[in-house]
Structure 1
């Protein structure tokens, strides 16, 4: 079971990278460059609030799983 948890850690880190790239290229930067007020507010919220929370959380769980923090000790 511990091997599955370590593999899940790799998956979480990969998801963090994918969501970080997707959040920047699709939701964040194009919204800031559009020039509309609604898009500007949405882009700032995505880049300043949501993207760090999502990517940071996924990355932290992945690193904890790889470090063995969730291993069962019998």
Structure 2
């Protein structure tokens, strides 16, 4: 079970990197370039609030899973 947790740690890190890319380049920057005020507000919320929280959480969770913090002593 501990090896599965370490493999899933890699998955969480990859998901964190994917959400960073998607949040910045697919949702954030295109909203800034659109010119609408509603899109600008949405882009600011995505890039400055949601993307760092989601990405940071996934990366930290993956780091702890890889380092063995969630291993059980059976």
Same fold (TM over 0.5): yes
Who is 1:33 aligned against? 33
The total of aligned residue pairs comes to: 74
Deviation per residue, 1:18-67 (Å, 9 max, x gap): 11111111100110111110000000000010000000000000000000
Who is 1:11 aligned against? 11
Please list every run of 5 or more consecutive structure 1 residues that lacks an aligned counterpart in the other structure: none
* TM-score normalized by the length of structure 2: 0.96
The farther-off stretch of 24-33 and 38-47 is 24-33
The farther-off stretch of 40-49 and 24-33 is 24-33
| Coordinate RMSD, CA, aligned | 0.6
Please list every run of 5 or more consecutive structure 2 residues that lacks an aligned counterpart in the other structure: none
- The separation in 1 between residues aligned to 2:29 and 2:73, in whole angstroms, is 45
Say whether 1:48 aligns with 2:54. Answer: no
**Runs of 4+ in structure 1 over 6 Å off:** none
